[in-house]
């Protein structure tokens, strides 16, 4: 495995693999890797000849400076995990390497990027598209792997790839959870022991709502989740939306779509956690 820090060295290394007709897979990450990331890496290693994992905390997708500053960075542990999983290349550029000048590009994938995270984190998805499009340009992968925990992000990246990188296959991978149900997230590292216990309310409420939805209408299911989070005084709901899984637009009835997902964001103290649950997929 090689750790590469420059675009020039990355391109040079990958060119030899392309000439040998090796398939190249990319797993973009911001580091602080956990078992969720590891599942993406394993899938990539399994399906591709060459696996590239980027480790880069992208400043342009943070609309909150404090969140950028406190985002966990565990590069040595990340290298250890990736080495163990037979990754071919770690691409770990500096901010100056990836953004030698300000990126002024604007990406518009409305209405996918204007709801939910797009509403509460203005500019976030534009920053995501900036960095991911750069990685796609530099690596030129055949496959790129993303987790379904970031459900809205995955939908937007699929849209961007279909327009700008039509030969690239985007592979969505299921949410990985702790044994007790908490969705794995790098931000979980910032939870106190008590906060970790409180955060379980999120997944427990979502799982319970799936059972509730079997005999109840969509609006009552929505209220079930909102009330379930509100019952925990240590949590603050930012949003919960029940949406079409493809368009990300709100639905009002279980009959409105064949693919229905509940997407949620909750603050546990100052730690912002996201999760989602599928109610219907035919």
Asked whether 150 and 274 are in contact (CB, 8 A), the reply is yes
The yes-or-no answer on residue 37 being catalytic is yes
Catalytic choice (34, 37, 121, 190): 37
Position of tokens 């299911």?
221
C-alpha pair distances (Å), 238 with each of 120, 185, 235, 268, 278: 8, 17, 10, 11, 19
Residue 31 contacts residue 56 (beta carbons within 8 Å): yes
Give me the active site residues, please: 37
């Amino acid at each position: 495995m090689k750790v590469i820090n420059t675009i020039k060295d990355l391109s040079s290394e990958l060119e030899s693999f392309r000439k040998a007709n090796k398939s190249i897979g990319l797993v973009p990450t911001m580091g602080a890797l956990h078992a969720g990331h590891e599942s993406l890496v394993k899938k990539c290693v399994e399906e591709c000849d060459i696996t590239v994992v980027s480790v880069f905390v992208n400043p342009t997708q943070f609309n909150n400076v404090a969140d950028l500053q406190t985002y966990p960075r565990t590069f040595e542990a990340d290298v250890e995990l990736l080495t163990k999983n037979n990754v071919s290349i770690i691409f770990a550029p500096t901010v100056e390497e990836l953004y030698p000048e300000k990126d002024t590009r604007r990406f518009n994938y409305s209405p996918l990027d204007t709801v939910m995270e797009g509403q509460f984190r203005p500019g976030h998805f534009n920053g995501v598209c900036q960095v991911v499009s750069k990685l796609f340009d530099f690596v030129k992968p055949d496959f790129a792997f993303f987790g379904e925990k970031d459900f809205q992000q995955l939908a937007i990246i699929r849209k961007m790839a279909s327009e700008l990188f039509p030969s690239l296959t985007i592979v969505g991978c299921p949410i990985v959870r702790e044994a007790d149900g908490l969705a794995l997230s790098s931000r979980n590292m910032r939870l106190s022991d008590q906060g970790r216990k409180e955060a379980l309310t999120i997944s427990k409420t979502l799982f319970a709502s799936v059972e509730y939805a079997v005999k109840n209408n969509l609006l009552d299911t929505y209220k079930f989740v909102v009330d379930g989070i509100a019952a925990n005084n240590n949590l603050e709901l930012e949003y919960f939306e029940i949406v079409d899984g493809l368009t990300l637009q709100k639905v009002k009835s279980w009959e409105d779509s064949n693919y229905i997902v509940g997407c949620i964001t909750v603050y546990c103290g100052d730690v912002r956690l996201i999760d989602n649950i599928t109610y219907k997929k035919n």
